[in-house]
Amino acid sequence: MRQATAMIEVQTSRQGLVEVTRAIADWAEAQRLSEGLLTIFCRHTSASLLIQENAAPEVRSDLEAYFATIAPEDPHRYRHDDEGPDDMPAHLRTALTQVQLSIPLIDGRLALGTWQGIYLFEHRRSPHRRTLAQSIRVVEI
Amino acid sequence: MRQATAMIEVQTSRQGLVEVTRAIADWAEAQRLSEGLLTIFCRHTSASLLIQENAAPEVRSDLEAYFATIAPEDPHRYRHDDEGPDDMPAHLRTALTQVQLSIPLIDGRLALGTWQGIYLFEHRRSPHRRTLAQSIRVVEI
Amino acid sequence: MRQATAMIEVQTSRQGLVEVTRAIADWAEAQRLSEGLLTIFCRHTSASLLIQENAAPEVRSDLEAYFATIAPEDPHRYRHDDEGPDDMPAHLRTALTQVQLSIPLIDGRLALGTWQGIYLFEHRRSPHRRTLAQSIRVVEI
């Protein structure tokens, strides 16, 4: 049994969903292991993780629009605005989604469904460099 | 140490919560292991997982009504409607809940609280066959 | 390889966020392990877990106010009120957040980001004793 860990960096350019499936799956599958559990942990409080449909691009724009509506920018609603009007909505949108995902590795592949992609959800308006901690725990073949 | 994996199928008949606690706990406990970590992963983008109270049935109907309100069917709100008006709300309700749960196995039993049940939350109106990937990683007794 | 498990109790005094980072990190780091995966599981349906910013206290009060707005107390909305008007909103707020978190342990420390704290989110108005099941799976040095 062994565990591999890595930090991966994701550069975001704007608010919204950035697909990271390929980078994560490549790393996981490069460990050349048969069975295991991959955990991805987002080390931020204004960016999060989401598994969602990776086919129709409208799903992503609808998701982005939805979270802008459900946790809107509105200075009158929040006391915290240290980093601007998108600061507190970013924390709320993070709280409503996830900072951690674990995905079984079965027969050497992540057990993602056909239409599932892994996304980093950037909730701040300006570009950020985000760090994901990855850990995979494996039974060697 | 060993890992057991399985795919379980859940047939849904309508939008709403389907309890899967028994099937999952039976499988986990049938591994006859003392300590471990069970991970359940829902391989879909319009169905999700939820741990919620398994006593009063009104909790389930209130939960279903709540998610119908917070992420409503309304063709004017969404661009994505490839599979009908319940398509995009299903993605949103999935995003607001979870596609993955990990539950410690302690002394041979899942560490669920007294009132906790595991539910598959079907977000589409029509019946679907849903697949959950299960993985348990264990220290053998 | 070994697994350590523990139940920790958290006494809440009111609705809102209680930071538990120190207790959890101390326990995890006391196992004196290099690499591992910590899983925390909240055994309740009206209290949940949240990783959020642990610097500005306004973030916490804004988060509490937000969840009170998005899943409000309002007897006309819900059928379930066995334990009072804060009962069903507590289930909803739990469903919108998490009952389980897994955090990689890397080089003997939890891979939390600089500004991330782990919170128990008490959703009931009255004080409760909450139990968190903790499990850490480790490769011994």
Question: Per-residue pLDDT tens for B82-105?
Answer: 899 999 999 999 999 999 999 999
Show residues of chain B in contact with A114, CB under 8 Å: 43
pLDDT at B36: 86
* ipTM over 0.90 threshold: yes
Phi, psi values for residue C28, rounded to 5°: -65, -45
Cβ atoms within 10 Å, residue C46: 24
Residue to test with chain A: of B50, B73, B91, most A Cβ within 10 A: B91
Residue to test with chain B: of A1, A42, A51, most B Cβ within 10 A: A51
* Nearest C-alpha neighbor of A51 from the set A125, A121, A104: A121
The dihedral of CA A137, C3, C112, C34: what is its sign?
negative
Find tokens 């309002």 and name the residue: C74
pLDDT at C31: 85
CA distance C135 to chain B (A): 6
Residue to test with chain C: of A82, A120, A135, most C Cβ within 10 A: A135
Inter-chain touch A70–C70, beta carbons under 8 Å: yes
Q: Which residue in C has a C-alpha nearest to residue B60's C-alpha?
A: C80
Model confidence pLDDT, tens digit, residues B2-49: 678 999 999 999 999 999 999 999 999 888 877 889 999 999 999 999
Inter-helix orientation angle B57-70/C87-96, to 10°? 60
Distance CA A67, CA B131 (A): 27
Of the pLDDT bands very low, low, confident and very high (cuts 50, 70, 90), residue A84 is very high
Model confidence pLDDT, tens digit, residues C53-96: 999 999 999 999 999 999 999 989 999 998 999 999 999 999 99
pLDDT at C33: 79
Contacts of B50 (CB under 8 A, 6+ apart): B17, B63, B97, B98, B118, B119, B121, C95
Contacts of A78 (CB under 8 A, 6+ apart): A88, A89, C58, C62
Inter-chain touch B78–A58, beta carbons under 8 Å: yes
- State yes or no: pLDDT of B138 exceeds 90: no
Distance CA B74, CA C69 (A): 22
Show residues of chain B in contact with A115, CB under 8 Å: 44-45
pLDDT at B137: 72
- Give the pair of three-digit tokens for residue A15: 């608010």
Of the pLDDT bands very low, low, confident and very high (cuts 50, 70, 90), residue B140 is very low
- State yes or no: pLDDT of C139 exceeds 60: no
A82: contact with C, CB 8 A cutoff: yes
How much is the average pLDDT of B104-116? 94
pLDDT at C1: 57
Show residues of chain C in contact with B111, CB under 8 Å: 41, 43, 133, 135
pLDDT at B141: 38
Phi, psi values for residue C43, rounded to 5°: -85, 35
C-beta of residue C102 within 8 angstroms of C-beta of residue A100: yes
- For chain C, the chains sharing at least 3 beta-carbon pairs closer than 8 angstroms are A, B
pLDDT at C141: 37
Model confidence pLDDT, tens digit, residues C89-123: 999 999 999 999 999 999 889 999 999 999 999 99
- Give the pair of three-digit tokens for residue C3: 């697994």
pLDDT at C20: 97
Of the pLDDT bands very low, low, confident and very high (cuts 50, 70, 90), residue A33 is confident
Dihedral of CA atoms B126, C77, A90, A99 in degrees, nearest 10, equals -60
Residue to test with chain A: of B38, B77, B136, B137, most A Cβ within 10 A: B137
Model confidence pLDDT, tens digit, residues A101-123: 999 999 889 999 999 999 999 99
Candidate from A51, A61, A139 with C-beta closest to B79: A61
Inter-chain touch B52–C94, beta carbons under 8 Å: yes
pLDDT at A7: 94
- State yes or no: pLDDT of A1 exceeds 90: no
Range name among A8-17, B58-67, C32-41, C111-120 with the lowest pLDDT average: C32-41
Please work out, in degrees rounded to the nearest 5, the angle formed at the alpha carbon of residue A102 by the alpha carbons of B69 and A137: 175
CA dist A103 to A89, B34, B70, C25, C131, Å? 28, 22, 28, 24, 26
pLDDT at A85: 96
CA distance A70 to chain C (A): 8
Give contacts of B 86-105 with A, CB under 8 A.
Answer: 88, 91-92, 94-96, 98-100, 102
Give contacts of A 9-28 with B, CB under 8 A.
Answer: none
Q: Which residue in B has a C-alpha nearest to residue C44's C-alpha?
A: B113
- pLDDT, mean over chain A: 93
